[in-house]
Every structure is written in structure tokens, then in C-alpha cells.
Structure 1
Amino acid sequence: MKKAQIIIDKYFLTGKVDKRIFGSFIEQLGRAVYQGIYQEGSPLSDEQGFRRDTLELVRELQVPIVRYPGGNFVSGFKWEDSVGPKELRPARPELAWGVIENNHFGLDEFVDWAKKADTDIMMAVNLGTRGPEEARNLLEYCNFKGGTYYSDMRKANGHAEPHNIKTWCLGNEMDGPWQMGHKTAYEYGRTAAETSRIMKMLDPEIETVACGSSNLMMPTFGDWEYTVLDECYDLVDYMSLHQYYGNAADDTPDFLANSKGMDDFISGVVSICDAVRAKKHGKKRINLSFDEWNVWYHSNAADEKLEKWGQAPHQLEDIYNFEDALLVGSMLITLLRHADRVKMACLAQLVNVIAPIMTSDTGAWRQTIFYPYMYTSIFGRGTVLNTQVLAPVYDSRNYCDVSYLDSVCVWNEEKDTLTIFAVNKSLEEDLEVSCDLRQFEGYQVQEHIVLTNDDMKAVNTEADPEKVVPVKSAASRIDGGKLSTVLGKHSWNMIRLAK
């Protein structure tokens, strides 16, 4: 059996967890909205057409913030089409995903849904086919109390009080040639700077997110971030990161090693942000919003066969297996390990579209990735300890020196709890792990939750929704202030300790 050690010190801290690191994402795409969170006339929906079963699962995840309405969709979005009486809202061809958008679900509906889901909103503005003026008008509609054209429009549409949305994305993936209105780094940086400046003149309390590269492999990565921030550093608050991972080659060790790639990606963007800060002698620090991340590849072949100009097709509907849940667990650990700089993150997406929750006309169920997301969201709040891992390593097809053990420790001093999240990536061997916890006198193991399965490709379905579910383990114990445990081969683990 391989052996590993987790080393922590209660005085060596990475940073406090911003709860928004456990955010998610809803785009007007596929069945994320229609049949996902909203289905008029369904016996499963409430009086506003919101799916009650979906709402229950979203609340179970304790999602603190949801990004909306895109994504690629936002770069052609006319927000005015999505408010007011539904019978007067225009249906339009939606160019990003090749469908017809009827706008029956829009901005005000999403605000109402978010309240029922107990979540805040990260709103995106269209900087593709539109610009600073339309963004300012949207902010006025959402946040101005009244007595102006757009705030009074909101009131006339049945929302007397402001929506009070405080987090705003300045466009989406504007470096991508697939994006409507995509721009050079300089063009986008200037537009982002002026949009953020004008919006903050209207509401100084908002925070804005500038677009980073669409993914790590973009040929302009690095240059894009530096140039954009060189133009807008003093006017924005966050830089975004997007990255998805897949296993089309069916190489599980390399697939699970992608958490190392994510870690390197974050470190690289942090370095660029700090380089611009140094150049400008900046007083503030730009933090990160990893507002699109997940596994995404299962649905690619099916999506190539879709006919265009339908409504709410089965699009980007990845059916997640057990190994996907392992990587999602590792990616959550990676985000927490960077809690000093990653302040927001969005698992993309929330329902039906590359999502932890799936629906049909007869119900909703949890995909495999639901469980590491849920447990980390609930118990990963507090202060991240600078977690050092000593473990055996391996080389994969794309990575070198990959640790078999991903782990992070989160200390909630207020509640006197310590939570250890850990993934054993070995496909053949259990891992014997120790951790000296004598600084946490009186702490005892409360529970050890394990997600594992003999079949790496096992999935949850509506007919068999509990094929992959977490179980309790008795493998962890404390003796003389030292924790010892065994993490089973290919397993995700959460060990909770408390006084």
C-alpha cells in the first residue's frame, strides 16, 4: 500500500474562502432553462413555471451565486427582449447555439428564480454586438431605485424594488473567433475599461469581471490577459478563467491529472495579474473568477448531429460517469488551494447542460458530479490551511510528477471544525495517509464520506439514480492527536473533524 502525508499548521493560512467559489452557471442554452429550471404547464412546476424538483436540488447544493445569461449567448443578447409581457416578447434566431429563443424566460424571471433558489446573481452584459451604453441601461433597470426610464420600466414590469445585482461580467470569451463581436485584446480592454467605469458611475458598489482567455490553449493566452489588464486594471475587480477537460482518449490516469493543469493555469494568470500590478505600481490586487469549469466531452458527437433552429434541444447533455466525479472533486480541491486569489468560480452549468442535475418530464436526479460539489460547497467554508502533501507521483501522457493524492484542509474556527478533502488517483492501490493534528486539541473524527465505484464508467440515470452515491467509512481515526486513514483506490473522500 502506498503511503502519504498531509502537513498543516494552524498558523500557516492560504486564505479565507469566499463562498462564491462554489457558484454555478445558467445559460439560455439547450434545456438549461426550458425544461431545466423552467417548464410552464408541468405538474412539477410552481405557479411561476419554476421546476420545484430542480429548485430543491439546487438548494441542496447551497449554490451561493449563479452566472447568467451566458456564456456565448450573451454576446447577441438584447436584454430588452426578455422583459415585459411574455406575449409581446419577440422570438429571435439565437446565433451562438443555432436555436430559436422565444424569450418566455428572461431577466425578471431569473431574478425571481434566484430568490427561490437562495442564490445571488452574477449578471453578464453583452459586449459583443452591443456596448457600454446598453450595459449602463441594463444596470439602471436592475439596480436604480426609480424615477428614471429603465428603473420605471422595471417597476411597470412588476418589480417595484431594485434587483440589486452586485457582480457583473463584462462580456464573455471576447478573444474567441466563435464569439459574436469578438475583439482584439486592446479593443476589448478599452471597451471593458469604459463599460466598467460608466457602470460604476451609476452604482459604485458593483464589482466587475474582465474576460480572460477562453481557455488555456488559446494562441493569445498570456498576451491577452496582460494587454487587457494594461487597459482596464484600475477599473475592474476580477479576471476570468475558463477551462473544460475531457477524456476522449480514454486515458484515465491522464484525465485525472488535469487538476495539475488547472493548478498551473491559475498560478500563471495570478503571475500575469501581479506583473501588470507591478508595472502600474498598483495599490489594489486583481483576484480571479474561474467562472466556467467542468468536464465536457461526452456530448460532442451527439451535438454535431443536431438540426439548427429548434427550441430547447438536448444540447451539451453530458452524462457524467464516476471518473468525472473524481476529477470534479480534484478541481474543487484545486480551487480551494488557491482561495487567496480565486474568489469566485462557476461550475458550468447547473441543470441539464454539462450539469450536476438532470431532468425529464417526470423528475430530476443527481449526476455523479453532484456529490463532490455538494459536500465541498457545504463543508468547504472557512479558512484554507496551507496544505502540503507528501505522496508518490506518476507521469501521464501530458503531465509529469502528478501526485497520487490531491488534498486540502479547511478550518472553520467559528464552528471548531476541520474538513479534509482528498482524492486518491491511483487506479490500483489504496493510500495510507497520516496527518499530525496535535495543534487541534480535542478534535475527533465526526464522519468520513467516500465516493467510489468499481466501474470507472458507472453513471446515474433516472431509472437508476443511485448507481454512484457516497457511503460512510470507518477508516479514519485519531490516536494521540495524529490522524491516520486509508483512502481507497480511485476514491473521493471528505473527513470531517470537530471538538
Structure 2
Amino acid sequence: MKVRATIHRDFALAQIDNRLYSAFIEHMGRAIYTGIYEPDHPTANAHGFRQDVLDLVKALDIPAIRYPGGNFVSAYKWEDGIGPQADRPVRLDLAWRSKETNQVGINEFARWADEAGIEMMLAVNLGTRGIEDARNFVEYCNHPSGTAWSDLRRSHGVADPYGVKMWCLGNEMDGPWQIGHMEAKEYGRLADETSKAVKAFGGGIETVVCGSSNDEMPTYPDWERQVLEECYENVDYISLHKYFGNSSRNSLNYFAKIEETGRYIQSIAGVIDYVKAKKRAKNDVFICFDEWNVWYHNREEDSKNWHSWDWPEAPALLEEDYNLEDALFVGGLLNEFIRRSDRVKIACIAQLVNVIAPIRTQTGGPAWATSIYYPYQFASLYGRGTALNVAVDGPRYDAEVAQDVNYLDVAAVLAPGGKEITVFAINRHLETEMDLNMALHGFTNVTLIDHQVMGGDASQARVANTCAQPDLVKPRKGDKLSVEDGGLTGQLPAFSYSVIRLSVG
């Protein structure tokens, strides 16, 4: 299978916001407790955080992390998680029918984020609470001193304010499952007033208003229109969420869902443009795709469990065993975010540890990287800079969710300084090796720095890393690509994900 591709230095799509490679973690399942926080673990540091998990997190170089939810936030009292840990109340979390001990609250999480080198993006409860509680939360986190809330923070041992700049205005308020669910106009008004209140603190605060929970909601995309008509001038981003699966075990249709996601982004971009034009607004609103991941392996069984169990504490929930096929899909979805980086400025993999996550842990035991850890890591490390247009001429296929889909899924990024290009390439064909001929125009002195590849055999699609065998699915050195006449040529294995780094002049 022969494929030609062309990249030109001058044909740029957008400057990529580093926050495109952000993450999300919620008080849910074992994400927090026995995920990032396990004081009795052999690797736990003085603050109770698992060092083995911190090491895996640091290697991802995550720019920002959304916290504390998610559905959890819509009935959460942030004040329950401050002050002496021994005095904190235990609450029932209605979202996931479990017990919340509040041993980790904003100050503990902020300490963990600082140790991990990650900026916080905090969500406020607009389900059971509102403007006043959001205002108080911002004051507690961001004001230096001399007020009731800021001095309370200081009394809790945190002298310097956190200076949190990104604030999410609730979560999935379009969903009937959400505690405090509202109609679009009602929510848009509340979001508008809340955004104005938190931005009054200054410091360059940015706010994220809730878009659709997914593109199959009956209110999509009119939800976005109605919400933005209420708050457009006072918010900076609108959120999108989408989870993916392959229950039918049709790999090609699964991979084509990335094209479907592109249409989702394009549609909401159109709604944003429509509202901006209608309101004669001068500001731009961008997309924050702050929940995305593969979620289907255990979804049905998990749903049965959490709707019936008797309020357990930190139960195992949504602990997906990601396989090679999922790694290729996640690599492709990251490619789509790169290609759409003119509109998508923030994206958060959901979630980070144990709950539909690239990192898994055993309570009291080891931590390991799942298959999806690696494409996420490669994109975060090498996908920063300028997104370049890649013209592809090669075989295509039709699927149920999209037609005329390229077998080659590819994105390219020119690093800051213009001296390195990284190409992220997926051969979606299940059986056939791809002969790639990629022209690089406007570049000189092209040399191959590195080629890493995952996969190459569709019969291994369901293989997954486990606690006992954590290295079954991981990158290896590729040896079938070379630079000839200033271009990239060679073979991409069938059913594979490749990261190709090139030095350029």
C-alpha cells in the first residue's frame, strides 16, 4: 500500500497551546485514594503521595489538571476538604454512590500538583451551590491575605495564594443525571454571573462554560447556542466531552470515530462563530475538550455495580485494561486535537490514575503504565509548537461512522525554534504494511533523530499491560524509515502507531 504525504514549512494550521495535553482527576473510585494518595504505601512520601505514581506522572510532563470533578463536583462542598484532616466530615457522594472521607482536599491536591509540576484547573459546584460559594472558593485559593477566606487558608499552613487561573463553571449541566441539572438558558445565566464574579478577583482568570456532555445528547448542539447566547462575552472556553469504545470489535470503524470527533469539534466551532456574529462580540471563545478517553471494556458491569453497592470507600471503578488497539486510537485522537488546535486549546485525558487512566496501581503494590500512556506521553513531549498541515494521497475506506477515511492518520508539529519536526503516524490497515513517501518542503538538512513504533500485528490488538506483565505493550525502536533527498521514506507496519522525530534546517 503506497501513500504519499507532503508537509510545507509555510502551511501552518495553528500554534498549539501546551494545555492540549492536560489531564483530569476526580474524587471517584481509586483515582485519589490508593491512586495518587496512599499514606501507608511503601513509596509514600511525607505527605502521603505515592512516589511511584508521581514518577510516572512527571514523565508525562502534564501542563494542567482539572479537579475535583466531574459528576462529583455537583454536590461537593469544598470546605469539607480544608482544615485538620482528623476533623473533616465523611460524606456520601451521590454521583458514584460511595463514601468520601475528605482526607484529600484543595490544599493536599495543590501540594501534589506542585510536586508533579502541574498547574491546577479547578471546578466549582453549580449543581447544588452557586455564585457565593464559587466566589469564596476563589478567594480562599487566590487572595493573598487580610480577608476571612484568605486568612483561613493561611491558618491552614498555606501562606502564599495558589493563583489558580482556570476555573470550570460546573460539570455536564446538560445531563439529566447531573445533580442540579438545568435547562440551557437557566445554566447560561448562572454561568455568566458566576464567571463575572470570579473574574472580578483579577489575575487573568479564565473560565470554562459547560458544553454538551457528548454529541449524542438530544439537546446537542442547541445547548451550546443557548448557553453561549447568555454568557459569550464573559467566558473564555466551552467544554466538550466524549468517550469512545469498540464493543463491536470492528477496528476500522473504531478508528473512524476520530473523524466523527472532528465533525463534533467543527460543529461547535460553527456555533461559537454564529453566536459571536449574532452578538457582534469582539472576544473569541475556544474549545476545552476537558473529558476524553476510551471507556467501554467494563462500562456496563461498572454501571450495575455503582448503582447498587452500599456506599463503599474508594471502590474499584472504571479500571479499564487498555490494549494495543486502544493505544492506536488514543494516538489518533491526539492527532485530531493537533489538527484542530486552531479551535481546541485545552484537552484533558479522563482520567489520570486508575479510573479510565493511563496509569494503574495496585493497593499496597506496584504502579504501571497502560498501553495508552505511551501515545499520550509522546504527544505531550513532542507535540508542542506549530501544527503543520499534512496533505495525504493514499488509499481510503468507508466505515459506519465516517466515509472516505484515510488509512494513514497523521499529524505533524514543528517544535519551537523551528529545528525539529515530529510526525505522529498511524497505519490503520489491519494487514498491509504502508510504503510511505513524505515530501518536506521549505526545510533543509533533514536528518532522522528517532523512530518509535507500537504495534505491527492486528492479532495482538487485545493484548494489554497488567500488574503482573506491565511491559507487554510499549514502544520499540523502528528501523524501516530513512531520509532520502530531503524527504522521509520507508515502511510503516500494519496496525501500528509511530513517532518520527526529524532534525531540520
TM-score range, shorter chain: over 0.9
Corresponding residue for residue 494 of structure 2:
489
> For structure 2, which runs of at least 5 residues remain unmatched after alignment?
none
SS of 2:10's equivalent in the other structure is coil
CA distance in 2: counterparts of 1:35 and 1:48, whole angstroms: 13
* Amino acid across the alignment from 2:342: D
State whether structure 2 residue 359 is matched by structure 1 residue 357. yes
Q: CA RMSD in A?
A: 1.0
Match of 1:439 in 2: 442
- 1:230 corresponds in structure 2 to 229
Task: Determine helix, strand or coil for the equivalent of 2:333.
Answer: helix
Q: Return the letter of the residue paired with 1:355.
A: A
Unaligned stretches of 5+ in structure 1? Answer: none
Which residue identity lines up with residue 321 of structure 1 in the other structure?
N
Deviations 1:303-339 (A, max 9, x none): 1235130000000111101100010000000000011
Q: What is the identity, as a one-letter code, of the residue corresponding to 1:343?
A: K
Q: What residue is the counterpart of 2:380 in the other structure?
A: 377
> How do 1:24-423 residues align onto structure 2 when only pairs under 5 Å count?
24-303=23-302, 304-306=304-306, 307-360=309-362, 361-414=364-417, 416-423=419-426
Tell me how far 1:302 sits from its aligned partner.
Answer: 3.2
In the TM superposition, what is the alpha-carbon distance from 1:247 to its structure 2 partner?
1.0
Distance in 2 between residues matched to 1:438 and 1:410, nearest whole Å: 14
* Aligned amino acid, residue 431 of structure 1: M
Where does residue 481 of structure 2 map in the other structure? 476
Contact in 1 for aligned 2:163/2:203 (Cα 8 Å): no
Q: Secondary structure at the match of 1:81?
A: helix
Show the counterpart of 1:13: 12
Structure 1 letter corresponding to 2:268: V
How far does residue 91 in structure 1 lie from its aligned partner after superposition? 0.4
Q: What secondary structure is seen at the aligned counterpart in 2 of 1:384?
A: strand
| Aligned CA distance change for structure 1 residues 348 and 4 (closer, same or farther; 3 Å) | same
Query: What code does the residue aligned with 2:375 have?
Result: P
Q: How far apart, in 1, do the equivalents of 2:4 and 2:236 lie?
A: 37
Asked whether the 8 Å contact 2:144–2:150 carries over to 1, the reply is yes
Quote the Cα distance in structure 2 between the aligned partners of 1:284 and 1:477.
46
Q: Amino acid of the residue matched to residue 35 of structure 1?
A: T
AA of the residue aligned to 2:485: G
Paired with 2:50 and 2:453, the residues of 1 have a C-alpha distance of: 30
* Structure 2 CA distance for aligned equivalents of residues 6 and 76 of structure 1: 50
How far does the alpha carbon of each residue in 1:169-212 deviate from its partner, in whole angstroms, 9 at most, with x for none? Answer: 00000000000001000001000000000111122510000000
Does the 8 Å CA contact 2:9/2:441 hold for their aligned counterparts?
A: no
State the AA in 1 paired with 2:86: E
In structure 2, do the counterparts of structure 1 residues 413 and 49 end up closer, same or farther at CA, with 3 Å as the change threshold? closer
Q: Deviation above 4 Å: which 4+ runs of structure 1?
A: none
Give the share of equivalent positions with the same residue, in percent.
Answer: 46
CA distance in 2, matches of 1:269, 1:244: 17
Distance in 1 between the 2:393 and 2:18 partners?
A: 28
Q: TM-score, normalised by structure 1?
A: 0.98
The range that moved more, 298-307 or 82-91, is 298-307
Structure 2 CA distance for aligned equivalents of residues 282 and 390 of structure 1: 40
Separation (CA, whole Å) in 2 of partners of 1:15 and 1:178: 36
TM-score (normalised: structure 2): 0.97
* Aligned residue pair count: 498
Judged with a 3 Å threshold, the aligned counterparts in structure 2 of structure 1 residues 59 and 204 are, in CA distance, closer, same or farther, namely closer
Partner AA of 1:375 in structure 2: F
- Amino acid of the structure 2 residue aligned with 1:184: E
